[in-house]
Structure 1
């Protein structure tokens, strides 16, 4: 009997195991995979269950945004501290109560509300039931429905990647039929040059009879990237590199006015580095010259009537190609054949290469080329059809420009050598004579600043001849002054009415004005008692007239008349940064994203001054009150009265005339008069920390007796409490608050204010660190220079030491002149 019982027992066990394995095989509901929802399971708000992808990058479940009372089903990044959603199921139809169920019913995913009504469904026709159906959250964030025994993507019954919301994930396809990205050039879209040469990301563009789509994939799976569309319609690419806290904005569009569709008229191109931004294509002329001169360039440009036979093509470099609505594509022929075909077709107005990698493929435009822009780096070549005569004239102009450029350069070097030798020999003899005042009419001007044999100014409506300008600190250089009549400025400002007063500084008053054509202007009227003499005034004109950048203020004109020194700028609606940053009412309007964008804009403007402009410029007075904001809160660096030109091989200079604003000046400049690009970097670092904290470096006070803001930031950052110095407005109330991004910016700011100039980064490195989360940031050394109040008692434990102390808290620019 015992043997029979053992046989019976083993048979029962075997039968049970067989039934169990059969159930496991044919009923995936018993699977313990957390990334799969079977046909017999459900997700509810009450059971708080979620589906997690393999690798635990993504998570699907119910959630309720903190500011709302409704529930949603969606997918978010599981490992990112700041909750970031990648997909919504019921975005347009949220659940009104905390009762909701997701399950598989009749071969469909359905979301039911508290009344068991469907608020969202995959809406698939039932079809043939070949096997049980499951829903799976894939490692790439794709939520799919499939037969449980078919893992092939081509066999998916439904997938969330086909129904994106506001986010494009790696592997998700995007239809680019109506997206303003420029044609695909083989590497990227020509309208998005920032995406090129990313070693952790690859792109794929598919064009066939079935689809036209774009996808991107990550070669480094530890780095996350997503492309989003904001509520305002902007495209933004974010990256996140574990173990960071939040996202870093890598690229956004539009970034400037040239990113707006068809910003300029026909046969034009847009370039943010010119003013105005609209320019005629080479060989074309303004259709309406008068409107063009008045900065109304919507009419575009025209060219000589084409003869077809004998026409040629002008090569334009670094262009975003025109709108391709009127384009014809041939994928087989190369660039040479493309030119021949376009030349034979009298309707062909331009052509370009389709694939810049292989040189194969031809794009030809048969209509008017529109929506073109120029990049400093990026874009591709565009060949525009011109009449042979226009083409020859254009080539001759370019040739003449080259010849004139070389001739001018050689002549300038010889002239500079002669003038330098002359002044070197005569400097001692003329030292006293140059300090003698010269009177012209009622105007008294000191010859230390001017040599009237080589100058011209508008005095009492009369032009005094000018050829060259000499300053004790600046090189001799040609001046091109946009002169304006004093009477016109008086009329524009309503006789400098107090009602038009925008602000007042150490150099005088700034007024709002309006020209007869309706253009609004800002008029900077220097006080006759101002510390800024005519020398500094002419220096500002000479510098700013040459500089063209979206983050630099634009000079419209100037006037020197009977003791008056006036600068006329573009009017910027939102005034200066300090009026927003340090005002309790206004600062609440500056969320973190706005402050971050302002910081990036200032950095790019400073980089242009240091490295990308025609002459290297050291600003020497960078501060919050010298950052102006336009209607879109785009920052523009202003006030170049104290700026200096550096040669390309110069690294630093020394001056006995220390100018700038205490609290922003670097230690080597304030103490020893040594200034360089790193002096501006220090000022930028102070400004960055002020933007983050909402507090001035000067006049700073807290209960821990920190002498200034820099000392406070350094102490908190070292103790791991960096976020405590953040402006409470953005720390507690800003929806764009990103802790990790702010901590990175604090570290960058501390790098910029290090004691030794050699330890501070160049602005090119600063811009790179601000714009990329994957760039490593060095560990900063203590800030070596503090300006602030005397502490009540000495704090021997402090890690910072004040080399200069003052109780002054005003923000007026100071000049300290040593005796000669």
Structure 2
């Protein structure tokens, strides 16, 4: 083994040298896969590569030194090579060309300038691929740049890369994101601008704005947040932008201050622009800044005349003097309709009081600003006040005066950054503001005194009767039936025993004000954040969205259920929080997150061998057995799926998300609902079609999960093109053809376990049989899996054999990616 290791150490550098045998490309010297070219400073490499989880080949440029490859430019991004026989050559007319094995040109630099007598392509120390023309082959001095990759960027911005924009430029697509992490073709997101005058950066989602930076003032974009993200003071030297505007052309340059950091900007396929740098101590790419950074960064989140505050609940509110256009939508958390003015402006009306301005501190200024140069702040105010169409103004010392005459959109709280925005209001609105402040102050003082007097009176009264009075709590009140401080009762009279009640402020502190870098997951229910309490305990905080459809009843249902459940394969509920509109559940933190993060991620999937997979299967089964048979309450989960199976540090599974679970009586084994909720692909046929659910509904979901674990494929995303089969249909096809081995993921297959894996598939097919009466119950499932029952019956056809397309899923479809939306259901119990 030592000799082999020594041989590899010797031969690998030699192999790299062989792959990098050429230093430039000429009409007679081309680059063939897998050859590469390295820049003189050894910082960049040009060659052929395949993205993660792809066999396609592309010509690209990436950083040479880091162990984690960071591709910064791709030539043939929309025309991949399908094998490793590609060639990058330089034609006699000075054009770079990517050709396949049949000499078909897949990509060309399309040089239109006259070619010189001799041309050479080289990789510069700045990371740009240059094509230069020279008078002759013998004299390679004073060359003319014919073409350079910096003028044709992909998704990244490198130091000293200059963007020259003109009115004829495609302003929306200066940079184009990849389609996915494994596909560098043009994706849905791009970076550009909408004006060469008051310049700002915009991330476009197709043709719609997704995020904008706010105007550039010569030093910063005034609509962005700049803050340290935890990588140390080294970030202050990662670079800056400079802008020049000459003759209607705009030139923007990113200047990197420290070459060793390899700082650059890139837009991801998810629509996030990030400044990245190489952290050599951690051997990984760090992020010093990114946008969008929180939910309020999304363009127009709160609609017209709405303001977004990222760390408040709700995040959207109408600007002073405005009210929601659609009150019902606003209450449900849909703010897109925006707000309307309550009282009309009085500008130009005879005998009316003059309008005034309300100062909104540290704001992200609205879209569509109009620039008036050469004014001071007083002159800016006067210019807006005398213009009846002016609705707001702002003043920046470098930009000077900004005004708005159209609807104000994309306004947000940027404290401690941003600029002050002055909102035009009718004088009556401003006067009311003063009066209201006085009234509120007086009310608070008198109200506090009254509450104190009432509490004192009740305390005195209870002392005389020998028992404590009920304490007033916002939205919930302490139970009068027990002195236990960890028992409370809400309006639905659900009692939660031995449960910690945490304050909102404590949870905000634990999660860094619910910062995005602590976000573990999100869906229709809201968001889940990682947090750490004062005693160092790590927690997961499920912050329910008001738009999730899960109201007080569903929330209390989940709290009541989980607080009574104690099993090693069920997630442990530590506490909850109910304050105002906030409803939060606090769980034990699972460092490995959810099962789907492992099953359907090609890299993480490698860490799950069959023994770990079987341990997960057995744990989920024992958790379901406890819910169905062994707990004090008989519970049907109704939303069992890979994303609701959490994994602890040892990959032990824990069933989570009981928002849609239902309790059965002792003599009940079936129920019906008038509103079907859940996730298609996991719901049983009788539940999806008729609303009937029972233990066998959970068994069906378990069967889908078993087949997903064994195959490594996601039921909702699988489509066998022949006969449009679903994953269940494909498994059934292979079973009937006695070729079920093809279903097994090669990463977990192996001779010692093949029989056990096939048995697991067999049990999975028994669980997903179309008729509920044919499916085994949980005790039988466990006995089958552990071989206590050796002779398994032949499965009957499963439900949902064919792939369900959007046209036939009907109104009951709930998309997997939005998680499970919880609804109030009307349930009729049927005893059998």
Q: Please, what TM-score do these two structures have when normalized by structure 1?
A: 0.49
Q: Which has the larger radius of gyration?
A: 1
Q: Please, what TM-score do these two structures have when normalized by structure 2?
A: 0.48
